[in-house]
Chains A and B, each alone.
Chain A
Amino acid sequence: MMDWPFYLDSVFPALNRGLGVSLQLIVPSALLGLAGGVLLGSLRVFGSPRLRRAGDMYTAVLRGVPLVIQLFILYYVLPKIGLYLDGFSAAVLGFILCSAAYHSEYVRGAFLSIRQGQLKAAQALGFSPLQSIRFILLPQAMRLALPGCGNEIVYLIKYSSLAYMTTCVELTGEAKVLASRHWRYTEIFLAAGLYYLCLTSLASFILHKIEARAHIPGFGRQK
């Protein structure tokens, strides 16, 4: 049976505290990661050949190395060259760098799937290259990339639990500490799982709202 006092007195307060930390990790990582991904994706399409190559390489490395290793590098290796990050900062930085790489894939693909004639039309009207990107291509690319980027944000919510690896005690960390203190793994991890499920469901709901608001009749289905 449910041991309510245990939940109310021990589990929820600890998990809520963890949830607070998780949110502090997730929200800036999601926003800056997306912004970085848009920038990186744009560079990988419109940059000079050298920039494009650098962007592709960055993306290949960040997608090819497990995130845990990246976090370890930020947290344990950077200090060796004099860069000290606390666990929280190392985690946020790692999440931003990594999700930017993934977002950039979606953004890049979206840019490449836009009908090229529109760029010519914009140029023919006197748009500068930067204006064409800003006012014509980017609004379309973002709509096309939105489902992919949305998924990436949902993933981020889940992989934010890796912050635990840099000694940043967030939702998963609190659960682990609590579980080993009380020897009650089942209830505590089930509860933690539910917390994440609520977070990802909420994120999906918000993302769907945004997609619906950004929807344009007939756009994105042709081609």
Chain B
Amino acid sequence: MNEKTGTFPEPALRLEEISKSLGGRLILDAVSLDLRKGERKVLIGPSGAGKSTLLQCVNCLVLPDRGRIFLKGEELDQSDNRALRLFRRRVGMIFQDFNLFDHLTALGNVGIALQKVRGLPKAEAESRAVEELARVGLEGKASMYPAELSGGQKQRVAIARALAMDPEVILLDEPTSALDPELAGEVLTVIRDLADGGMTMLMATHQMDFALALADEILFMEQGRIIEQGVPSLLLAPGSGTRTLDFCSRLALGAEGRI
């Protein structure tokens, strides 16, 4: 088990007052957060709270209107496209709907960025891709195309693809919510292995039991703001009266449905 917040000295990722409006509406309202090396934080909150937008603001897939982003203490210059690309290489991203490259095999999906972005020779990129596929338990599927893989396998390829870039932080946006429960399990196992390996993670999820087992801290988001945060055992203590507890118990009752 991982020690709790406070024992991670090194800052990995820091967001300061990130704001974003979309379609004339304020979607993120001055959100700040800190992630230290090896730390795992889980974003929860109702659908539409802004979790996906926040995650995509971290690596500027959605450009924040305001706010500062730091990786290992260095501030990212959001207006410098080259700096942005270098930054994105260091921050892995896992999407809810996998977003595999449809024209490439599992091996190609994992290898292409190694070749084209990191500039590895083809053979080296391939052997690294083979390794990463093995790490997520897909050594036998290297030559399969996305359409030939199950949802769980697709998401594991996506994880291997992110890991191959040796990211310092991984962002996961509801990595299992597009999956049937029996397929979600295999993805959760991979994510748990990653966590055990000391990966720094920021993850949005509705999988509460998993979040509890994994999270050093829970961030509860609503209407573009983090309104509660803390270690799971405190936020979710029976009778604590937190919004988080209320949300989670409704989630458990299925009131929120699959989001």
Question: Which residues of A come within 8 Å of B, CB atoms?
Answer: 114-115, 117-118, 120-128, 131, 135-136, 139-140, 143, 216-219, 221-222
Contact = CB atoms under 8 A, between A and B. Distances in A.
Given A115-B102, A217-B147, A219-B102, A125 B113 contact: yes
Given A118-B101, A216-B103, A218-B145, A125 B117 contact: yes
A124 B145 contact: no
Nearest to B158: A121
A131 B119 CA distance: 12
B134 interface: no
A125 B165 contact: yes
Contacts of B147: 216-219, 221-222
Contacts of A216: 102-103, 145, 147
B112 interface: yes
A96 B161 CA distance: 41
Given A120-B61, A123-B61, A219-B147, A128 B99 contact: no
A115 B95 CA distance: 13
Contacts of B85: 126-128
A117 B173 CA distance: 13
Given A126-B86, A136-B101, A121 B93 contact: yes
A219 B145 contact: yes
A33 B173 CA distance: 43
B192 interface: no
Task: Pick the most buried of B95, B97, B102, B118: most chain A CB atoms within 10 A of its CB.
Answer: B102
Contact of A118 (B86, B92, B102, B162): B102
Given A118-B99, A135-B112, A140-B103, 10 more contacts: A121-B93, A124-B88, A125-B89, A126-B88, A126-B117, A128-B81, A131-B117, A140-B101, A219-B102, A221-B147
Contacts of B88: 123-126
Contact of B95 (A120, A140, A143): A120
Contacts of A122: 101, 113
Interface in B85-133: 85-86, 88-89, 91-93, 95, 97-103, 112-113, 116-118
B52 to A, nearest CB: 11
Interface residues of B, number: 32
A120 B117 contact: no
Interface in B4-50: none
Interface of B: 56, 59, 61, 81, 85-86, 88-89, 91-93, 95, 97-103, 112-113, 116-118, 145-148, 158, 161-162, 165
A221 B147 CA distance: 10
A127 B99 contact: no
A115 B99 contact: yes
29 contacts: A115-B102, A117-B95, A117-B98, A118-B101, A120-B95, A120-B99, A121-B95, A121-B161, A123-B61, A124-B61, A124-B91, A124-B92, A124-B93, A125-B88, A125-B113, A125-B117, A126-B86, A126-B89, A126-B118, A126-B165, A128-B85, A135-B112, A136-B103, A136-B112, A139-B103, A217-B147, A218-B148, A219-B102, A219-B147
Contacts of B161: 121, 125
A139 B112 CA distance: 13
Contacts of B81: 128
A121 B145 contact: no
A121 B100 contact: yes
B116 to A, nearest CB: 5
Contacts of A126: 85-86, 88-89, 113, 117-118, 165
Q: Which of A125, A216, A217 has the most CB of B within 10 A?
A: A125
Lowest 5 CB-CB distances: which A-B pairs, in order? A218-B147, A121-B99, A117-B99, A126-B89, A124-B93
Contacts of A219: 102-103, 145, 147
A122 B88 CA distance: 10
A110 to B, nearest CB: 12
Contacts of A135: 112, 116
Nearest to A119: B99
A220 to B, nearest CB: 9
Contacts of A139: 103
A159 to B, nearest CB: 32
Contact of B102 (A123, A125, A127, A140): A140
B101 A143 contact: no
